[in-house]
Amino acid sequence: MLGWILLPVLANTQLAVAEKSVNGSENLPDSNLTSNVATDTCCHETALSQKAFPNHPFRFFKPDSLAAQKKRILAMAGMHGGLYGGSLLVLNQAWYANYPRGKFHTFNDFPEWQQIDKVGHIWSAYQLSRASFPGWRWAGLPEKKQILMAGLSGFAFLTVVEILDGFSKEWGWSWGDFGANIAGSGLFIGQQLGWKEQRISFKFSFHRMQYPETMLNERSDDLYGASLPQRMLKDYNGQTYWLSANIKSFLPDTKLPGWLNLSVGYGAQGMFGGTVNIWDNPQTNILINRTDITRSRQWYLAPDIDFTKIKTNKKWVRSLFYVLNAFKMPAPTMVLSRGKLRFHGFYF
């Protein structure tokens, strides 16, 4: 799911092309919005859009007619359909095609992995909704519809993934995953409707785990995969998810820099199976019992950066910052685990 948050870069590039084809011109800077566009009532974006979305990194030239607006909406629907359809085809071939399929069924996986996978679903739904938002804003929809369409776009994509799970004998439709998808899209929608900005970002960080025993590293290669991308996606021991709050958004009179955030993270370690650390050795078929390894939850507290609060006039830099804001930056961190408090001078 990590690759999906690159959608803002793809969307921003394609929107620039679509802007030419729909309007016959390049995107214009905010200062060049003409008075007829500013006063046009067919759409709900105005020349003062940065007041409505003061911290949003994308600035688009508004469609100047209902016909242009309809073309943009169709372009966005087509782009979403193409990106999502292509992603699902790749996912089906890379993942589901290797496992047998059967009748649609459900599966309760909520007790597994200390719920790290569920938090990952929240993050994915949130980031997909956030990635979709610039496109629906560019399409010229009314403000609330922009937000709702973005949230539904993220939720709908992950719901299709759940349906594929439901027909796979290896997994099944998970109500826990479904609820997490709702929570992720809801986190985006609620903040955008209430504050017109994302004051609390939901972020991800990862570090590759090096386990102290050869047996555990072999188990991890078999369970999670040996490559770095596979480990990032599957090794829940190395994943951390963060709620990162922008301090100045909540305390506007503070003299702290506008990009400074305070973040609270959640992770877990010691997991070499879904619920227990017991598995079959694939070479010897001998049952391995490592219940001596404690499965523990971990809580983190650290400063962070909100890249979308760093001002720049360069569009490619705004796009880059928008993507970077999906990830927690390395920083000094306090960790609470098994009742003990530790400090890391540098944690990612």
Q: Please state which of the ranges 31-35, 66-70, 201-205, 319-323 shows the lowest mean pLDDT.
A: 31-35
Instruction: Please give the distance of CA 59 from its chain centroid, rounded to a whole number.
Output: 21
pLDDT tens track for 118-135:
999 999 999 999 999 988
Secondary structure of residue 137 in the 3-state scheme: helix
Q: Which of 72-86, 115-129, 228-242, 269-283 has the lowest mean pLDDT?
A: 72-86
Long-range contacts of 48-55 (CB under 8 A, 24+ apart): 52/143, 52/196, 53/137, 53/196, 53/197, 54/196, 54/197, 55/197, 55/198, 55/308, 55/309
Per domain, the residue ranges of the chain are: 1-198, 200-348
pLDDT, the chain, mean: 83
Query: Quick one: pLDDT at residue 79?
Result: 85
Strands across the sheet containing 239-246? 200-206, 239-246, 260-269, 296-305, 331-337, 340-347
Residue carrying structure tokens 């995969």: 225
Task: For the chain, report the end-to-end CA distance as a whole number of angstroms.
Answer: 19
Q: According to the model, what pLDDT value does residue 56 have? A: 53
The predicted model gives 71-92 an average pLDDT of 84
* Residue whose C-alpha is closest to residue 177's, from 224, 123, 222, 231: 123
Given this model, what pLDDT does residue 29 score? 34
Please indicate, yes or no, whether the overall pTM of this predicted structure exceeds 0.85: no
Q: Are 116 and 238 spatial neighbours (Cβ–Cβ below 8 Å)?
A: no
